[in-house]
Amino acid sequence: MRLHSALAFCAVLSTGMVLPLAAHAEDAPSSSEVMAQHKQAINNRLADIDYKRKRIVEANMKLDAAEGEKFWPIYNSYRTEADKLSKQTLAIIIDYAGAYNAGPVNDDDAAKLQKQVLELQDDKQELKEKYVKRIAKDVSPKRALRFLQIEDQLDAMALLEISREIPLAD
């Protein structure tokens, strides 16, 4: 399987996003160039995913009015920070596409990508922990647990979608 730069018109964001980003391996732009070229498409898709994700959270949190008043500003702040990490995920996917298309991924590229992925996973976990604590304090521990469960399920679905689209390194 050949992975065209940016997944042959189909790069997948950690939010479960499928995004048009075509290029050929010979003239593959950097991840920042690809993201700049497709900034509007990226932002539109992120907004769509964010809207759908918020509707899922809203339907499943079962908040009363008082809880909702406290929860939604926290959630919106969380999603703003999470979207920044989603863009970092996209940049890593684009970098991997470039390395993959160049032939077998060399050890230097593999080590660099591995480090980026692990750091990003740590950042995502720290972000989630920060907001779970804030929700537990400002809303309730039970609602914080429910939020964590919903986020973990949404993240697992997004990871599955990403994993299906990205070939393993050779």
List pLDDT tens digits, range 9-55: 234 333 444 343 334 445 666 767 766 777 778 778 778 888 999 99
Higher pLDDT, 112 or 9: 112
Q: Which of 70, 80, 65, 57 is nearest to 136 (CA)?
A: 70
The region of weakest confidence among 19-28, 89-98, 101-110, 157-166 is: 19-28
Higher pLDDT, 10 or 84: 84
Q: What is the pLDDT of residue 37?
A: 74
The region of weakest confidence among 13-17, 64-68, 102-106 is: 13-17
Domain boundaries, given as residue ranges, for the chain: 5-165
The pTM (predicted TM-score) of the whole model is 0.76
pLDDT band at 112 (very low <50, low <70, confident <90, very high): very high
Q: Mean pLDDT in the chain?
A: 82
Higher pLDDT, 124 or 97: 124
Q: What is the mean pLDDT of residues 101-120?
A: 90
Q: What does residue 13 show for φ and ψ, rounded to 5 degrees? A: -90, 155
Higher pLDDT, 120 or 101: 120
Q: What is the pLDDT of residue 27?
A: 60
Task: Spell out a b/e string for 99-138, using b for 16 or more CB atoms within 10 Å of the CB, else e.
Answer: bbbeeebeeebeeebeebeeebeeebeeebeebbebbbee
Q: What is the pLDDT of residue 28?
A: 63
Residue 155 exposed, middle or buried by CB count within 10 Å (0-12, 13-18, 19+): middle
pLDDT band at 91 (very low <50, low <70, confident <90, very high): confident
pLDDT band at 132 (very low <50, low <70, confident <90, very high): very high
